Amino acid sequence: MASEEECRTWKKPLDLFESQTKPVKICAPMVRYSKLAFRMLVRKYGCDIAFTPMIISESFIKSVKARDSEFTTCKEDRPLVVQFAASNAKDLADAAEIIAPYADGVDLNCGCPQRWAMQEGYGACLIKKPELIKDMVSQTRSRINNSDFSVSVKIRLRENDKETIELCQRAEKAGASWVTVHGRTPSQRSQPVNLDAIRLIKENVGIPVVANGDIKSLEDCHMVREHTGVDGMMSARGILENPAMFAGYETTPLSCIKDWIELAVSVGTPFQCFHNHLIYMMEKDLPRSERRIFNALCSTSAVLDYLNHNYDISV
């Protein structure tokens, strides 16, 4: 971990929202994927803020082993927001207090629609508990004695726009720094993102609003910004497939693939994660027959040999 003194040199997320005329560009929290090497990669290509994968606050608090396994950073890994899944205010505040010297903010996951998470009281089930969200934000905000440290919330939509707006307003009153809105309800998967609902939220709160859902290109960012007026864009699948999307690339450039290899190797990224990222990055450019070959490779050396032979990429 970087020291607290080193961390003070980095521009904070709230400064980015206040100083940028363009929307703040954010890499979403993605299970297994938005880890250190990938966060470092997307920052090379126009990403302003990177999130960690969702971390269960309860295990993070109780276990040093869990902390070492789930959270890795370095002095260049900034601005950084750590996302937690929590079901009560104390757990979120305790986790935030532990992480505060090494990050620029925490985010409460109120959007994960997976059944296991909701059964444990995490994720999207919280959007039906606005008072609990308010308490979690308030206690966390009061625990951290640093006004630059952000406490944000990521939600999905409720079925009723008015209820979603009220939820965001309560979070704002509790001290939330900003809210990220995935424009679907927890039960929706492939349905179109509800940009009208995101626009209504933006019009009815005073804190920054970040749009999430189906943002896969810089063109999508412009379209969503024009429709909603939001302050930021968060991408998940889009930036996974093309880590250079915020820099305006339509597909992953070879320079980005080379940068990924160097970063992943430098921090000791496990092979499966290393390979899976490349599978996503190269999916659109490889013919189906080549994809089968590339996807079946089973070692780092085999992947490097393939890329060197077919793309003249060497490390």
d(CA 195, CA 93): 32
112 & 178 share domain: yes
270 & 200 share domain: no
How is residue 100 annotated by DSSP?
G
Please identify, among 246, 272, 299, the residue that sits at the C-terminal boundary of a domain: 246
Distance linking the first and last C-alpha atoms of the chain: 26
Report the Cα 116 to chain-centroid distance in Å.
Answer: 20
Identify the pLDDT of residue 9. Answer: 59
DSSP strand pairing (55-56 vs 179-182): unpaired
Identify the pLDDT of residue 231. Answer: 97
* Angle between helices 195-204 and 161-174 in degrees, nearest 10: 40
**Kindly report the CA angle at 149 between 148 and 153, in degrees rounded to 5?**
125
Please identify, among 246, 275, 301, the residue that sits at the C-terminal boundary of a domain: 246
Domain containing residue 260? 254-311
Counting Cα atoms < 13 Å in the Cβ hemisphere of 31 gives 7
- Amino acid at the residue 60: F
Is the Cβ–Cβ distance between 71 and 60 less than 8 Å?
Answer: yes
64 & 204 share domain: yes
63 & 27 share domain: yes
Active site members: 112
pLDDT per residue as tens, the chain (315 positions)? 444 444 445 679 999 999 878 899 999 999 999 999 999 999 999 999 999 999 999 999 998 988 998 999 999 999 999 999 999 999 999 999 999 999 999 999 999 999 999 999 999 999 999 999 999 999 999 999 999 999 999 999 999 999 999 999 999 999 999 999 999 999 998 899 999 999 999 999 999 999 999 999 999 999 999 999 999 999 999 999 999 999 999 999 999 999 999 999 999 999 999 999 999 999 998 999 999 999 999 999 999 999 999 988 877
d(CA 96, CA 68): 15
d(CA 88, CA 39): 28
289 & 193 share domain: no
144 & 263 share domain: no
Identify the pLDDT of residue 212. Answer: 98
pTM score > 0.85 for this model? yes
DSSP assignment of the chain, as one string?
A: ---HHHHTTSPPHHHHHHH-SSPEEEEPP-TTTSSHHHHHHHHTTT--EEEPPPEEHHHHHH-HHHHHHH----TT--SEEEEEE-SSHHHHHHHHHHHGGG-SEEEEEE----HHHHHTT-GGGGGG-HHHHHHHHHHHHHH---TTSEEEEEEE--SSHHHHHHHHHHHHHHT-S-EEEESS-TT-SSSPP-HHHHHHHHHH-SS-EEEESS--SHHHHHHHHHHH--SEEEESHHHHH-TTGGGT-SS--HHHHHHHHHHHHHTT--HHHHHHHHHHHHTTTS-HHHHHHHHT--SHHHHHHHHHHHH----
| CATH code of residue 9 | 3.20.20.70
Using the structure block, give the residue that is written with the tokens 């640093």. Answer: 146
219 & 73 share domain: yes
d(CA 14, CA 274): 32
16 & 126 share domain: yes
Identify the pLDDT of residue 4. Answer: 43
294 & 187 share domain: no
Number of domains in the chain: 2
223 & 259 share domain: no
272 & 238 share domain: no
186 & 270 share domain: no
d(CA 43, CA 239): 11
Please identify, among 246, 265, 285, the residue that sits at the C-terminal boundary of a domain: 246
